[in-house]
Amino acid sequence: MEPVEINAGAWYLLPLRIDEWASDTCYAWSVCEPTTGTPVAEVMFDPRSGSVTSNPHPGHTDAAAAAAESVRRFVSAATTPTHWPTSDP
């Protein structure tokens, strides 16, 4: 999967450790305050186990929780096949 940035509302997730993305071993994001870019947490998705984990900086458990939920939604959308309706003539 290609590294992607995620807009999580009050937080902006920037991809980390691009080498792990390329090998599909771990997808990680830095959870940043959108106006300053200050990192406040890290969220990881393990494609082998399907688990999402977070590591908040002190005082930023809310950001880590919101980002983890955004990553779960992203992973669900990225891994669920989309079936376009077909029309019969």
Q: What average pLDDT does range 3-12 have in this prediction?
A: 93
Which residue range is the domain that position 21 belongs to?
A: 6-79
The alpha carbon dihedral of 22, 27, 33, 38 has a sign of negative
Q: What is the mean pLDDT of the chain?
A: 90
**Is residue 89, in this structure, part of any structural domain at all?**
no
**Is residue 86, in this structure, part of any structural domain at all?**
no
Residue 82's pLDDT is what? 66
Residue 37's pLDDT is what? 93
**Is residue 87, in this structure, part of any structural domain at all?**
no
**Is residue 53, in this structure, part of any structural domain at all?**
yes
Domain count, the chain: 1
**Is residue 36, in this structure, part of any structural domain at all?**
yes
**Is residue 84, in this structure, part of any structural domain at all?**
no
**Is residue 88, in this structure, part of any structural domain at all?**
no
Q: What average pLDDT does range 43-68 have in this prediction?
A: 96
What DSSP element (H or E) covers 75?
Answer: helix 61-79
Q: What average pLDDT does range 45-50 have in this prediction?
A: 93
Residue 86's pLDDT is what? 60
Share of the chain above pLDDT 90, in %: 71
